[in-house]
């Protein structure tokens, strides 16, 4: 027998007996692969190794029963603010941003996209202090403004919106920077949008627009019908100033037209940008968001937004089928940022997984104006797996009962368990 | 002229009486251990203070009335061990994990020392909605890396006590932590600072070493009112070979030394806690040791830690007492932790959910339980700072083309509250 065939036998044997982690009995919703059925999911070396109706428990080194729960790709939050630091009350390096691990993992989110907190001048600091240290996967929309969201003066300074410089930085950091962000502009002119699109064109990446103050000099219709390219994103879709409904409560046709052009509409709920009186009629008439996202920051986590699952639950209670809610929080978002290795459970994909429950009962949700909507369903995250390892476990589902363990020491093997929680240590600042 | 003024003075209170209260919580089961209330009562609030607690208060007397029947109403929880200072990726933004679990006062446990406390005060304390107090570290630079924490030369009782004296509204005591050496120097300097400033000391005992036995710490070194935190840590000599709680612990308690839970990432084991609690050695104060490493692991948040005590068999009223009035006394802030008339209206409204839940300890052992505390509504200074299910809100479809709802007299998440938390705006400093 040849050595090579011996090795082949050995590896086949290994494959049969040792998945690192086997999640059994969950209802898999994997929109990309059109799976919506009970399946077992096996993981090895941080990747999806098998998805099948019945994988014997003996093949998993660690087996977790997730019957009665939904198993989906790890959620992707397309609009977050995670450039947390000690600079004061601001989104760029301050405490208005939230460190990603503080909110993402416990709501099933394994990937967040920071929406323009940093610009070309503070991107490196953001990368060093947060992106490279967090256990949540972080991508970045780079602000067209050089200093990102440092304050009002910087965000209105059009002279500092340098398309070429932004594009160059984006191209130098293709692993992290997935797009360009334009935000919070109050002036009457189109320059920030135009420079954002110019940077996006140069670097061949999408642009995400927060339209700032809505002004008659630059109509929203023109933004989505002319200025944006297919694949560009308007965030804050259900924000009150968006011209959404006519006097009879019908969704304006231009919105469907813009969508037909390929412009994408993201929720970006945040502290001020989601109104039921816009969203409920729009969703009923089929104007649903392409992507569901939070706009998480210190001003939204304790108000109506709360977290990704709360925003998703709003859509569930507005009548969107669960599979659709999942699609718009996983695969759709992955495609928007052109990270097609994420957002699905194909064999070989990175094993980012959310195990979700749908609680039935009497719940209510609050919008950005403080109005309420009642509902009967609410999503919760029972288990979150990032790169094949457990990073959140709401009810100790992966754990053994303490009184059967004797004088136990630290439990949980590193091949499936990464719930220790700490971020990687801060590297030394780059010398200047 | 004089009579005019007199008339005005008489009339002013009269007109105010038309709206006697700002906010009325009706039909909740009040648990107020300090005042020995454990029954259904209405609670009325005016100008951020408790105005009345009575069997039936007329809803017409209040600007806003919220029905909280089926829920418990308690003083806002006080978490005397949390971490809000230090680098992103270690510290937590104060408002992010506190308000949602009913915590209205949280005490930073030694993140900063006398050299860097003022910056922490300015940047984090003064901008948070939750009330943030602090234990100041005996090390001048606080928790600035494990190496710095060993630097006995930077443990200066006089400078530390001086910083306490100039920040008595915020600093509650002295913290010593993470000391690895064989000497008593860290504990002794902390106690010395505590004596000079007349404040308690909280001790994390670092590496437990035979050269400085734990028994000596709690029986001799600490003064009555000083606190040992991380009670159910593996290293604490807790049980004899037959599983009985060692008598010296009861002796230390008799001396007046306090024992705090300080759960954290590594400091709470069911195999220490369950037998101890069963034998009556219950933490005097329940606290989280909130930081990035604990929020995604077994600790999670204050309501989870409290739930663990509940499922270990501690009666609900006791759990509340050890999370409200007991910690208020431990930090010498007796104006907090109760619902007496004229007390600050920091209030936690919660449910005890029944079901099959699991909890995890610091070594990742599990424990099943049938109860869980879920926070529905948190009031800070009489205003809504968190609500899970919109119980204070009107249904959107009955509001027409509504604009921002809420009134800053009862709503900290109204537009005023939100704006103060947006980038660029001047943060509103809490009253205290």
Considering the domain boundaries, does residue B119 fall inside one?
yes
Nearest-angstrom CA–CA distance, A100 and A308:
12
pLDDT average, residue stretch B403-425: 64
Nearest-angstrom CA–CA distance, B69 and B49:
21
Phi first, then psi, for residue A317 (nearest 5°) are: -80, -15
B196: confidence class by pLDDT, cuts 50, 70, 90:
very high
**CB contact, 8 Å: B354 with chain A?**
no
Cβ <8 Å between A91 and B423:
yes
Q: Residue A41 in 3-state DSSP?
A: strand
Kindly report the CA angle at B94 between B167 and A74, in degrees rounded to 5? 165
The model's pLDDT over B63-86, given as tens digits with 9 standing for 90+, comes to 999 999 999 999 999 999 999 986
Cβ <8 Å between B300 and A397:
no
B22 close to B45: Cβ distance less than 8 angstroms: yes
Q: What is the pLDDT of residue B145?
A: 86
Cβ <8 Å between A106 and B300:
yes
Q: Determine the structural domain holding residue A82 and report its residue range.
A: 76-356
Average pLDDT, chain B: 91
Cβ <8 Å between B367 and A407:
no
The model's pLDDT over B322-339, given as tens digits with 9 standing for 90+, comes to 999 999 999 999 999 999
Select from B366, B404, B419, B427 the residue whose CB has the most chain A CBs within 10 Å, as the one to mutate to test that interface. B366
Q: What is the pLDDT of residue B100?
A: 97
Considering the domain boundaries, does residue B37 fall inside one?
no
Q: What is the pLDDT of residue B88?
A: 62
Residue carrying the six token digits 């000596």: B216
Cβ <8 Å between A372 and B406:
no
Q: What is the pLDDT of residue B418?
A: 42
Considering the domain boundaries, does residue B232 fall inside one?
yes
Distance from CA of A407 to the nearest CA of B (A): 7
Q: What is the domain-level CATH number for residue B165?
A: 3.20.20.140
Strand B21-32 to B62-67 pairing: parallel
Element (H, E) at A331: helix A331-336
Cβ <8 Å between B296 and A106:
yes
Select from A102, A103, A283 the residue whose CB has the most chain B CBs within 10 Å, as the one to mutate to test that interface. A102
Q: Determine the structural domain holding residue B310 and report its residue range.
A: 76-338
Q: Is B30 left (phi over 0), alpha (psi -120 to 50) or beta?
A: beta
**CB contact, 8 Å: B239 with chain A?**
no
Considering the domain boundaries, does residue B347 fall inside one?
no
Cβ <8 Å between A366 and B390:
yes
The model's pLDDT over B258-303, given as tens digits with 9 standing for 90+, comes to 999 999 999 999 999 999 999 999 999 999 999 988 999 999 999 9
- Alpha helices by DSSP H, A51-160: 123-126, 152-156
Query: In this model, does residue A9 exceed pLDDT 70?
Result: no
| Closest residue, chain B, to A135 (C-alpha) | B89
Residues of B in contact with A87 (CB under 8 A): 123
Q: What angle do the packed helices B185-197 and B157-165 form, to 10 degrees? A: 40
Q: What is the pLDDT of residue B127?
A: 84
Cβ <8 Å between B89 and A419:
no
Nearest-angstrom CA–CA distance, A113 and B389:
27
B426: confidence class by pLDDT, cuts 50, 70, 90:
very low
Considering the domain boundaries, does residue A9 fall inside one?
no
A17: confidence class by pLDDT, cuts 50, 70, 90:
low
- Residue A7: CB partners within 8 Å, gap ≥ 6? none
Residues of B in contact with A106 (CB under 8 A): 295-296, 300
The model's pLDDT over A207-232, given as tens digits with 9 standing for 90+, comes to 999 999 999 999 999 999 999 999 99
Distance from CA of A90 to the nearest CA of B (A): 5
Query: Which B residues in the span 73-92 are in contact with A, Cβ-Cβ below 8 Å?
Result: 87-90, 92
Considering the domain boundaries, does residue A382 fall inside one?
no
A340: which 2 tokens?
């097609």
The model's pLDDT over A315-356, given as tens digits with 9 standing for 90+, comes to 999 999 999 999 999 999 999 999 999 999 999 999 999 999
End-to-end CA distance of chain B: 38
Considering the domain boundaries, does residue B369 fall inside one?
no
Cβ <8 Å between B368 and A401:
yes
- Alpha helices by DSSP H, A82-209: 123-126, 152-156, 163-172, 191-203
Average pLDDT, chain A: 94
- Residue A143: CB partners within 8 Å, gap ≥ 6? A116, A117, A118, A119, A149, A166, A180, A181, A182, A183
Q: What is the pLDDT of residue B16?
A: 46
Query: In this model, does residue B314 exceed pLDDT 70?
Result: yes
Q: What is the pLDDT of residue B11?
A: 45
A421: confidence class by pLDDT, cuts 50, 70, 90:
low
Task: Count structural domains, chain B.
Answer: 1
Q: What is the domain-level CATH number for residue A268?
A: 3.20.20.140
Considering the domain boundaries, does residue B270 fall inside one?
yes
Considering the domain boundaries, does residue A280 fall inside one?
yes
B389 compared with B18, residue with greater pLDDT: B389
Query: In this model, does residue A87 exceed pLDDT 90?
Result: no
Query: Which B residues in the span 251-270 are in contact with A, Cβ-Cβ below 8 Å?
Result: 265, 269-270
SS (H, E, C) chain B: CHHHHHHHHHHHHHHHCCCCEEEEEEEEEEEEHHHCEEEEEEEEEECCEEEEEECCCCHHHEEEEEECCCCEEEECEEEEEECCCCCECCECCCCCCCHHHCEEEEEEEEEEECCCHHHHHHHHHCCCCCEEEEEEECECCCCCCCCHHHCHHHECHHHHHHHHHCCCCCEEEEEECCCCCCCCHHHHHHHHHHHHHCCCEEECCCCCECCECHHHHHHHHCCCCCEECCCCCCCCCCECCCCCECHHHHHHHHHCCEEECCCCCCCCCHHHHHHHHHCCCCCCECCCCECHHHHCCCCCCHHHHHHHHHHCCCCHHHHHHCCCHHHHHHCCCCCCCCCCCCCECCEEEEEEEEEEEEEECCCCCEEEEEEEEEEEEEEECCEEEEECCCCCCCEHHHCCCCCCCCCCCCECCCHHHHHCCCCCCCCCCCCC
Considering the domain boundaries, does residue B286 fall inside one?
yes
The model's pLDDT over B128-165, given as tens digits with 9 standing for 90+, comes to 999 999 999 999 999 988 889 999 999 999 999 999 99
Nearest-angstrom CA–CA distance, B30 and B46:
18
Cβ <8 Å between B402 and A401:
no
Cβ <8 Å between B402 and A400:
no
Task: Count structural domains, chain A.
Answer: 1
The model's pLDDT over A350-389, given as tens digits with 9 standing for 90+, comes to 999 999 999 999 999 999 999 999 999 999 999 999 999 9
Q: What is the pLDDT of residue B216?
A: 98
A265 close to A243: Cβ distance less than 8 angstroms: no
Considering the domain boundaries, does residue B147 fall inside one?
yes
Residues of A in contact with B429 (CB under 8 A): none
Q: What is the pLDDT of residue B431?
A: 27
Considering the domain boundaries, does residue A272 fall inside one?
yes
Select from A84, A89, A96 the residue whose CB has the most chain B CBs within 10 Å, as the one to mutate to test that interface. A89
DSSP structure class, residue A333:
H
The model's pLDDT over B2-21, given as tens digits with 9 standing for 90+, comes to 445 444 444 444 444 567 99
Considering the domain boundaries, does residue A30 fall inside one?
no
Query: In this model, does residue B204 exceed pLDDT 80?
Result: yes
């Amino acid at each position: 027998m040849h050595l090579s065939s011996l090795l082949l036998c050995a590896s086949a044997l290994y494959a049969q007996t040792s998945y690192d982690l086997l999640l059994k009995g969950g209802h898999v919703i994997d929109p990309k692969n059109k799976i919506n059925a009970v399946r077992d999911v096996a993981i090895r070396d941080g990747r999806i190794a098998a998805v099948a109706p019945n994988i014997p428990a003996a093949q998993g080194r660690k087996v977790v029963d997730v019957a009665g729960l939904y198993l989906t790709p790890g959620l992707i939050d397309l609009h977050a603010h995670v450039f947390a630091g000690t600079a004061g009350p601001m989104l760029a390096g301050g405490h208005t941003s939230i460190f990603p691990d503080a909110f993402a993992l416990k709501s099933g989110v394994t990937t967040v996209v920071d929406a323009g907190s940093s610009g070309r001048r503070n991107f490196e600091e953001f990368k060093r202090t947060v992106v490279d240290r967090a256990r949540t996967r972080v991508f970045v929309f780079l602000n067209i403004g050089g200093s990102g969201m440092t304050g009002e003066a910087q965000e209105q300074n059009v002279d500092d919106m340098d398309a070429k410089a932004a594009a160059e930085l984006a191209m130098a950091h293709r692993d992290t920077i997935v797009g360009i962000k334009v935000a919070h502009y109050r002036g009457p002119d189109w320059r920030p949008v135009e420079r954002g699109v110019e940077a996006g064109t140069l670097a061949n990446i999408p642009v995400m627009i927060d339209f700032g103050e809505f002004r008659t000099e630059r109509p929203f219709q023109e933004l989505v019908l002319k200025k944006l390219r297919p694949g560009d994103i308007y965030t804050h879709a259900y924000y009150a100033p968006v011209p959404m409904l006519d006097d009879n409560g019908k969704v304006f046709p231009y919105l469907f037209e813009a969508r037909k052009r390929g412009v994408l509409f993201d929720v970006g709920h945040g502290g001020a940008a989601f109104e039921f009186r816009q969203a409920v009629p729009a969703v009923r008439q089929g104007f649903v968001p392409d992507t569901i996202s939070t706009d998480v920051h210190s001003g939204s986590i304790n108000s109506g937004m709360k977290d990704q699952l709360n925003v998703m639950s709003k859509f569930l209670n507005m009548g969107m089928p669960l599979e659709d809610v999942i699609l718009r929080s996983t695969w759709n978002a992955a495609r928007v940022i052109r990270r097609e290795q994420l957002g699905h459970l194909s064999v070989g994909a990175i094993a980012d997984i959310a195990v979700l429950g749908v609680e039935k009962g009497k719940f209510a949700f609050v919008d950005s104006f403080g109005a309420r909507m009642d509902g009967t369903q609410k999503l919760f995250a029972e288990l979150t797996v990032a790169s094949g390892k457990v990073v959140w476990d709401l009810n100790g589902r992966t754990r053994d009962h303490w009184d059967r363990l004797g004088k136990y020491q630290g439990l949980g093997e590193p091949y499936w368990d990464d719930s220790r929680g700490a971020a990687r240590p801060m590297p030394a600042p780059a010398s200047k | 002229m004089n009579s005019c003024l007199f008339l005005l003075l008489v009339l002013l209170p009269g007109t105010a009486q038309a709206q006697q209260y700002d906010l009325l919580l009706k039909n909740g089961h009040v648990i107020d251990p300090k005042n020995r209330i454990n029954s259904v009562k209405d609670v009325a609030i005016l100008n951020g203070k408790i105005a009345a607690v009575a069997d039936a208060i007329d809803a017409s007397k209040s600007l806003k009335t919220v029905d909280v029947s089926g829920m418990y109403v308690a003083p806002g929880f006080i978490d005397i061990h949390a971490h809000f200072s230090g680098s992103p990726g270690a510290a937590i933004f104060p408002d992010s994990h506190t308000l949602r679990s009913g915590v209205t006062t949280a005490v930073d446990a030694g993140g900063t020392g006398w050299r860097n406390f003022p910056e922490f005060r300015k940047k984090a304390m003064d901008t948070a909605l939750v009330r943030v107090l602090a234990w100041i570290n005996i090390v001048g630079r606080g928790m600035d890396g494990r190496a710095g924490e060993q630097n006995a030369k930077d443990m200066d009782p006089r400078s530390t006590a001086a910083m306490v004296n100039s920040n008595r509204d915020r600093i509650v005591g002295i913290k010593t932590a993470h000391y690895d050496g064989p000497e008593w120097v860290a504990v002794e300097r902390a106690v010395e600072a505590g004596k000079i400033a007349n404040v308690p000391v909280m001790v994390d005992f670092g590496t437990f070493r035979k050269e400085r036995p734990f028994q000596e710490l709690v029986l001799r070194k600490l003064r009555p009112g000083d606190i040992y935190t991380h009670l159910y840590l593996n290293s604490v000599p807790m049980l004899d070979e037959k599983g009985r709680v060692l008598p010296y612990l009861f002796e230390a308690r008799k001396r007046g030394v306090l024992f705090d839970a300080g759960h954290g990432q590594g400091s709470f084991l069911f195999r220490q806690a369950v037998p101890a609690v069963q034998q009556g050695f219950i933490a005097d104060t329940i606290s989280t040791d909130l930081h990035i490493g604990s929020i995604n692991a077994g600790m999670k948040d204050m309501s989870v830690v409290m739930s663990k005590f509940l499922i270990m068999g501690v009666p609900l009223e006791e759990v509340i007492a050890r999370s409200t009035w007991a910690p208020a006394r431990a930090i010498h802030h007796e104006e907090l932790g109760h619902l007496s008339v004229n007390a600050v209206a920091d209030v936690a409204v919660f449910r005890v959910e029944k079901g099959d839940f699991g909890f995890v300890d610091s070594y990742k052992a599990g424990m099943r339980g049938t109860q869980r505390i879920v926070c529905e509504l948190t009031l800070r200074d009489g205003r809504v700072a968190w609500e899970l299910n919109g119980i204070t809100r009107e249904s959107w479809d009955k509001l027409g083309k509504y604009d921002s709802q809420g009134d800053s007299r009862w709503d900290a998440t109204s537009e005023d509250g939100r704006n103060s938390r947006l980038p660029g705006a001047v943060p509103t400093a809490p009253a205290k």
